[in-house]
Amino acid sequence: MRSGKSVRTIAVSGAALLALAACGGGSDNGGSSSSGSDEKQINVYGTDGNVGDPLGEQFTDKGALQGMKGTTPLTDLSQDFRDRLLGVDPNLGNTFNYAGESYDAVILTALASAMAQSNQATVFGPYVNGVTFGGDKCQDFKSCMDIISKGGNPDYDGVTGPLAFADPGEPAVASFGTLQFGSDNKLDPDLTEYLVVGDEENAATNEGPAAAAFDSGNGKGPLKIGMLLPLTGSLAFLGPPEVAGVTLAVKEINAAGGVLGAPVELVSGDSGDTSTNIASQTVASHQQAGVNAIVGAASSDVTKTVIDTVTQAGIMMISPANTSDSFTTYNDNGLYFRTAPPDLFQGQVLADLITKEGNQSVGILAQNGEYGTGLAQVIADNLANAGLGEDVVKQVYYDPNASDFSDVVQQMKDLNPDAIVVIGFDESARIIQVMNEQGIGPAR
């Protein structure tokens, strides 16, 4: 581990996960007054959609985000992996959100295809879960392929951790980061902590079909993978690390010999956001191009607009960033997977952080959509489990496309809570700016 960072583990039993799902889905400034003022300094928290340096880039005043904390699915990525990503996109800087999950999504797809000796998603989809647990451990595509070529079953431990997919095709164990902005409105890496949530014991028990007879030159390729990632729209700041992760994975798979006797083919594609129909257009283009799997979308709301079209067409969909709990039980024809953990986990991590820092009342300001409402409810449920009931935890929803957020911020000011959680995407900058103007933001 790098200096200045620590790792904690939160084990979540299967019974606990079911109980939380049924519910609906140490700080130096917790609850304290700001220096030199009798006015309470409200603690501001973010979530994965707005915890990153791109948020800070939208502020020019020093200290506008100072002290704001947040959580996001995040692994303590090795410097070697970061350097490889930067070799693909030197402009990433220090923003690697979901890059590892994107990389692992491609590796899992290729390994499942190799196990099935087919590029047809309806054939290789049933192998995806099984390559994440139960077999011989491997940590890169080449070593996993060595196992497959000898008739074995790989247990891929990716750059984001053991994965260990549960029956719905999602991680049973995941790593989260708790991050904090400094006075320069950038995340302070020395204050980052990593927490491992979940339990590999909750992984699926069915490893899927027996491996097909391996033939390195079977000529059944190529495996075609299409991207459905945010090149534009409210999540565009997540596009570069996700694209870099996908591109790097394909590059390294092909350097190791490809799959099905041919190099993997990668087709670019924008997901946009729900204010456009870009995702639908991209999916139609991918279908025309004959892709076998689609990596994306990043937004749960965007995925909801195309998942039926994709899976009913017999194309696999694997998202590196969807967190909505609704996908756990979604009728996806066995063709939807995700390398990002469900909000059930993040709700626990963030609620744990909030209560650990002594906050006794919480306002949750969330965008009105699949992502915002789902995560807000999970956070509220976990706060309730920690002893903060409905009388001290209030949820307010907003239209992310609104031109003015002063009314919802005023509702937060009227609540005067110890802590405010902002759940949103790029519009979070405008919301936090109004919060600062009204004296309830993170500005110091």
CA distances from 174 to 199, 345, 410 (A): 9, 8, 36
Domain boundaries, the chain: 6-73+175-191+344-437, 99-163+204-339
pLDDT at 37 over 50: no
Selecting from 3.20.20, 3.40.190, 3.30.70, 3.40.50, what CATH number does the domain 99-163+204-339 have? 3.40.50
Considering the domain delimited by 6-73+175-191+344-437, tell me its CATH architecture.
3-Layer(aba) Sandwich (3.40)
pLDDT at 8 over 90: no
What string of DSSP letters covers 348-403?
HHHHHHHHHTT---EEEEEESSHHHHHHHHHHHHHHHHTT--TTTEEEEEE-TT-S
What mean pLDDT comes out for the span 268-292? Answer: 97
Output 48 or 252, whichever has higher pLDDT. 252
**48-105 tens-digit pLDDT:** 889 989 999 999 999 999 999 999 988 899 999 999 999 999 999 888 989 999 999 9
What mean pLDDT comes out for the span 308-315? Answer: 98
pTM of the model: 0.84
Rounded Cα–Cα distance for residues 299 and 340 (Å): 11
Helix (H, G, I), strand (E, B) or coil at 13: coil
CATH topology of 6-73+175-191+344-437 equal to that of 99-163+204-339? yes
pLDDT band at 144 (very low <50, low <70, confident <90, very high): very high
User: Which H helix or E strand runs over 176?
Assistant: strand 173-180
pLDDT at 17 over 70: no
